[in-house]
Amino acid sequence: MGAHSFSGKVAIVGAFDTPVGTIVGKTPMELCVEAGLGALADAGLRAGQVDGLVTCNAMAQPLLYHAEAMAEYLQIFPRYCMAVGAGGGTTFSIIHHAASAIITGMADIVLVSMADSLRSGLSRDQALLVQSSTGHPEFEQPFGPTVPAYYALIARAHMAQYGTTAEQLAQVAVSGRAHAARNPAAQMRDPITVADVLASRMIADPLHLLDCSLVSDGGSAIVLTSAEVARDLAQPPVYLLGAGEGHRHEHISQAHSLTTSAAREAGERAYGMAGLGPQDMDFAQLYDCFTPTVLVELEDLGFCAKGEGGAFLESGATLPGGALPVNTHGGLLSHCHPGNPGSMFALTETVWQLRHAAGARQVRDASLALVHAQGGIMSSHTALILGREAG
Amino acid sequence: MSKILPRPTPLSQPYWDGCREGILRLQQCLDCTRCQFYPRAVCSHCHSARLEWRAACGRGVLASYTVVERGISAAYPAPYVVALIDLAEGPRMMSSVIGADPADLRVGAPVELGFAEWSDEIQMPVFHLIEDARGELS
């Protein structure tokens, strides 16, 4: 099967995050370059050795040819070069495309670098555009749905169908913050309680302010190469063992289910390629733009049964030291969320965890992880399985 | 700051014309007989291009909803309701529920079509909770 061809044959060999939060005085391109060079230095590689470059556009600095602009900035001349745009799902879907490029010989060393400045770089008009650009322009946007409102529709449906509570949703935010408290790089580190989440301002019922992710500046990058090349580089390789995508809709009003997402197919395909299952994962990074996404993803990725996400969260399983630590860096809810690059930080964190270099927040004996991202409104999903060993 | 007005296309113009006449029009496939929303050039179920417009009965149920407390702009004074409506004919659409106490909303509640005038050109399809014979919300 072609789908099995890159399992264990491609590895992440470099990872780097810029500072995150409010980063004044740097453009998104400057952050993107800083992240990219940092990841290359981590791998022990020079920019001139990069022959594949993948970026995503920046809302605060939109460019027609973003990846080409970054290559020009660094004066590197890749043979595989593209800026991708699939919202929050961008980061992970491109990893398996890049892996395929390495396997087929289209590139040997691929730098994936992404940055944006949603916190300090957006004009009022740009911010409004970001807010309203999601949604069908003719049949959804006129009703005034905000981004939190779309996810509130998912939360409300799950509550009605499975009896999930606002307290259980809040546990996602509490868990993310508990991880962030152990991460000096996180934007928000003060521990919070379920009561704090429920007492925060209502944004779109049932979602409170603390059910919503951060707005951040920041950049993050990884370097991908073949397992053979990886053996001679500076860091222990982190192998890509499985990858899968699932796509069910663009607009939430067209979703066939509000409570089951294409994370299910993405996960099944990734587990299938890796020959592993959810029970094998030592931790997971799940896309957490709003608390209900983690609830649905825990179920769809097989970590608990459909409808039992609330109880799973309530059990404390996702907390530091729990049965399945989730978003060990603090996630989009507490570490940072600069938009499309957001899940890059979950990927770099996974690399550090699997190198056993995550310091105070190290998941003990971590050897396998699932990382997941979604774009749109639970529309496009990608799951990756990463490991310390090639298989 | 004004509301986000839909911009009809040649394909969707009959839909918006219908709204101006107080009718919610859906496309029905002449081959597989299923209805669809939003309007498309082909049936999304069987991909036949043989579609015709039919009037929806205007009844549906709330598939989900949210009360938006932080509006998208000054043109949308909060709180307001964003809802997904499952129409009796099958398709689901986004809309709003107006004139209801948010505390009375619940998933599965029956709703009925109405229209809100947004401009000379645009009447927006919106929904009301249906009251039963005792004047209570069902």
Domain boundaries, chain A: 2-122+216-230, 147-215+242-387
Binding-site residues on chain A for chain B (CB distance < 8 A): 128, 131-132, 136-146, 148-149, 152-154, 156-157, 160-161, 201-207, 252-254, 258
What count of CB pairs under 8 Å joins A to B? 108
Q: Does the pLDDT value for residue B138 go beyond 60?
A: no
Give the per-residue pLDDT at A385. Answer: 98
Give the per-residue pLDDT at A130. Answer: 73
Distance to chain B for A161, nearest Cα, Å: 9
Domain carrying residue B114:
13-129
Minimal-distance CA residue of chain A relative to B79: A204
Tens-place pLDDT, residues A134-189: 899 999 999 999 999 999 999 999 999 999 999 999 999 999 999 999 999 999 99
We find that the CATH architecture of domain A2-122+216-230 is: 3-Layer(aba) Sandwich (3.40)
Show which of residues 103-132 on chain B sit within 8 Å of chain A, judged by CB atoms.
106-108, 118, 124
- CB contact, 8 Å: B6 with chain A? yes
Does residue B4 fall inside a structural domain? no
Q: In the predicted model, what is the mean pLDDT of residues A270-275?
A: 96
Q: Does the pLDDT value for residue A327 go beyond 50?
A: yes
Q: Which fold has domain A147-215+242-387?
A: Peroxisomal Thiolase; Chain A, domain 1 (3.40.47)
Give the per-residue pLDDT at A88. Answer: 75
Reported ipTM: 0.96
Minimal-distance CA residue of chain B relative to A207: B66
Q: Does the pLDDT value for residue A4 go beyond 70?
A: no
Give the per-residue pLDDT at B132. Answer: 61
Does residue B137 fall inside a structural domain? no
The number of domains in chain B is 1
Q: What value, to the nearest 5°, has the Cα angle with vertex A348 and ends A375 and A114?
A: 55
- CB contact, 8 Å: B69 with chain A? yes
Task: Mark yes or no for CB contact A160/B64 under 8 Å.
Answer: yes
Residues of B in contact with A131 (CB under 8 A): 72
Tens-place pLDDT, residues A110-139: 999 999 999 999 877 777 667 767 899 999
Task: Specify whether the CB–CB gap between A46 and A89 falls below 8 A.
Answer: no
The fraction of chain A above a pLDDT of 90, given in percent, is 91
Show which of residues 35-54 on chain B sit within 8 Å of chain A, judged by CB atoms.
37-38
Does residue B39 fall inside a structural domain? yes
Q: Does the pLDDT value for residue A252 go beyond 80?
A: yes
Tens-place pLDDT, residues A56-115: 999 899 899 999 999 999 999 999 999 987 677 777 889 999 999 999 999 999 999 999
Give the per-residue pLDDT at A125. Answer: 72
Shortest CA distance to A274 belongs to which of A8, A94, A96? A8
Q: Which residue has the higher pLDDT, A358 or A84?
A: A358
Task: Mark yes or no for CB contact B69/A142 under 8 Å.
Answer: no
Task: Mark yes or no for CB contact A146/B68 under 8 Å.
Answer: yes
Q: At what angle do helices A166-180 and A291-300 cross, to 10 degrees?
A: 90
Distance to chain B for A90, nearest Cα, Å: 25
Minimal-distance CA residue of chain A relative to B37: A254
Task: Specify whether the CB–CB gap between A313 and A295 falls below 8 A.
Answer: yes
Give the per-residue pLDDT at B58. Answer: 97
Residues of A in contact with B62 (CB under 8 A): none
Which of A253, A259, A377 to mutate to probe the B interface, most B CBs <10 Å? A253
Which three-class secondary structure state does DSSP give residue A42? helix
Residues of A in contact with B84 (CB under 8 A): 153, 252-253, 258
Give the per-residue pLDDT at A123. Answer: 78
Task: Mark yes or no for CB contact A153/B71 under 8 Å.
Answer: no
Strand order in the sheet with B35-36: B35-36, B25-29, B51-55
- CB contact, 8 Å: B82 with chain A? yes
Task: Specify whether the CB–CB gap between A73 and A32 falls below 8 A.
Answer: no
Q: Does the pLDDT value for residue A1 go beyond 50?
A: no
A166 is written with which tokens?
Answer: 């606002």
Q: Which band of pLDDT confidence, cut at 50, 70 and 90, is reported for residue B136?
A: low
Distance to chain B for A168, nearest Cα, Å: 18
Tens-place pLDDT, residues B73-130: 889 999 999 999 999 999 999 999 999 999 999 999 999 999 999 999 999 999 999 9
How far are the Cα atoms of A144, A196, A223 from residue A92, in angstroms, in the given order?
A: 30, 32, 13
Task: Specify whether the CB–CB gap between A18 and A35 falls below 8 A.
Answer: yes
Q: Does the pLDDT value for residue A324 go beyond 50?
A: yes
Give the per-residue pLDDT at A161. Answer: 98
Which of A138, A154, A158, A378 to mutate to probe the B interface, most B CBs <10 Å? A138
**Whole-angstrom distance, CA of residue A81 vs CA of residue A71:** 8
Q: Does the pLDDT value for residue A371 go beyond 50?
A: yes
**Whole-angstrom distance, CA of residue A220 vs CA of residue A90:** 13
Q: Does the pLDDT value for residue A49 go beyond 90?
A: yes
Using only the alpha carbons of chain A, give its radius of gyration: 19
Which of B64, B86, B107 to mutate to probe the A interface, most A CBs <10 Å? B64
- CB contact, 8 Å: B13 with chain A? no
Task: Mark yes or no for CB contact B80/A160 under 8 Å.
Answer: no
The fraction of chain B above a pLDDT of 90, given in percent, is 90
How far are the Cα atoms of A160, A266, A385 from residue A241, in angstroms, in the given order?
A: 37, 14, 5
Average pLDDT over chain B, rounded to whole? 94
- CB contact, 8 Å: B65 with chain A? yes
Task: Mark yes or no for CB contact A143/B9 under 8 Å.
Answer: no
Task: Specify whether the CB–CB gap between A155 and A378 falls below 8 A.
Answer: no
Residues of B in contact with A208 (CB under 8 A): none
**DSSP of B14-72, one letter per residue?**
HHHHHHHTT--EEEEETTT--EESS--SS-TTT--S-EEEEE--SEEEEEEEEEESS-S
